[in-house]
Amino acid sequence: MRIQAFTNPLASPAQLQNNPTIEGNVSAETESLLRLFGSELIQTAGELLNLPQVCMATAQVLFQRFYVISSFVGIDLLDTAMGALLLATKIEECTRRAREIIHMSP
């Protein structure tokens, strides 16, 4: 597995086009659908937990940034989405227990 670090808070066009998921023989369309599904999953779980929108948006940004440098192949999307949501609750100080977030995941 290739590790890549962000030196700039914005992903470059080269990073977006040559990310590990596409290098793992997953089409760009499938990757887009997986990104959308993950964001919708975070939004739904956040609404069920009565989280503020800023917290859900932070989780979605963390989720998207994670998959710029990591592949969808071999890393569970559900675990990543719920992990991003848990981390966002800590960052935005709208804390929820890990148990509450785990109960939201199917």
Sequence spans of domains, the chain: 27-104
Share of the chain above pLDDT 90, in %: 44
Tell me which residue of 83, 90, 46 sits closest to 63, measured CA to CA: 83
Give the Cα separation of 34 and 77 in Å (integer): 8
Give the Cα separation of 24 and 11 in Å (integer): 19
Q: pLDDT digit string (tens) for 86-95?
A: 999 999 988 8
Share of the chain above pLDDT 70, in %: 78
CATH of span 27-104? 1.10.472.10
- Answering whether pTM is above 0.85, one says no
Give the Cα separation of 55 and 86 in Å (integer): 10
Q: How confident is residue 12, by pLDDT bands cut at 50, 70 and 90?
A: low
Q: How confident is residue 69, by pLDDT bands cut at 50, 70 and 90?
A: confident
- The amino acid occupying position 18 is N
Average pLDDT, the chain: 84
Cα torsion 55, 57, 58, 62: sign: positive
